[in-house]
């Protein structure tokens, strides 16, 4: 498979993963405001679970597979400072994914959620990381 095809599959995977990372905490905001045990709260549980398990987890795995595959084909990147910064941000993004997964489990178990304001703040974390990642990959400032 050519490097360009792998890169395209990586970008598709990342877009899918980012869509989930940007949407899931928005669902948490609405879920936190729904009364416990309500039809609305139960609907959010299903939406959150399906988004995480059917879209986000496979997209994250594919992002790493294709990204590491590209790195294996161009291993000199690991010596570039812009790439190191990008990679650290990607690891932080994966950590954010894990945090969102834990938040979802707590909401599913009807444990006291964070405030909707706290979920709104968490909603911005993937955006900031995404901006840094894209600037590093496209601009390569150092």
What does pTM read for this prediction?
0.94
- State pLDDT tens for residues 3-52: 999 999 999 999 999 999 999 999 999 999 999 999 999 999 999 999 99
pLDDT, residue 96, reads 98
- d(Cα 107, Cα 122) in Å, to the nearest integer? 15
Q: Which domain holds residue 76?
A: 3-139
31 is in an annotated binding site: no
112 is in an annotated binding site: no
How many structural domains are present in the chain? 1
Tokens linked to 102? 């834990």
Question: Are 131 and 86 a contacting pair, CB within 8 Å?
Answer: no
- State pLDDT tens for residues 16-29: 999 999 999 999 99
Write down how long the chain is.
142
pLDDT, residue 113, reads 76
Question: Are 66 and 10 a contacting pair, CB within 8 Å?
Answer: yes
Q: Give the CA distances from residue 97 to residues 22, 108, 122, in Å, rounded to whole numbers and listed in that order.
A: 10, 16, 11
Name, in order, each residue with C-beta under 8 angstroms of 24's C-beta and a sequence gap of 6 or more: 48, 51, 52, 56, 100, 104
pLDDT, residue 131, reads 98
- State pLDDT tens for residues 88-117: 999 999 999 999 999 999 999 999 779 999
């Amino acid at each position: 498979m050519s490097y360009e095809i792998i890169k395209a599959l990586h970008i598709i995977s990342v877009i899918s993963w980012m869509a989930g990372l940007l949407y899931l905490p928005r669902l948490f905001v609405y879920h936190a405001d729904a009364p416990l045990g309500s039809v609305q709260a139960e609907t959010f549980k299903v939406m959150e679970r399906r988004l995480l398990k059917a879209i986000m987890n496979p997209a994250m795995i594919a992002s790493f597979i294709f990204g590491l595959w590209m790195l294996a084909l161009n291993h000199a990147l690991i010596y570039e400072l812009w790439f190191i910064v990008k990679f650290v941000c990607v690891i932080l993004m994966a950590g954010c994914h894990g945090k969102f997964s834990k938040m979802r489990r707590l909401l599913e178990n009807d444990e006291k959620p964070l405030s909707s304001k706290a979920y709104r703040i968490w909603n911005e974390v993937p955006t900031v990381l995404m901006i840094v990642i894209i600037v590093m990959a496209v601009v390569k400032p150092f």
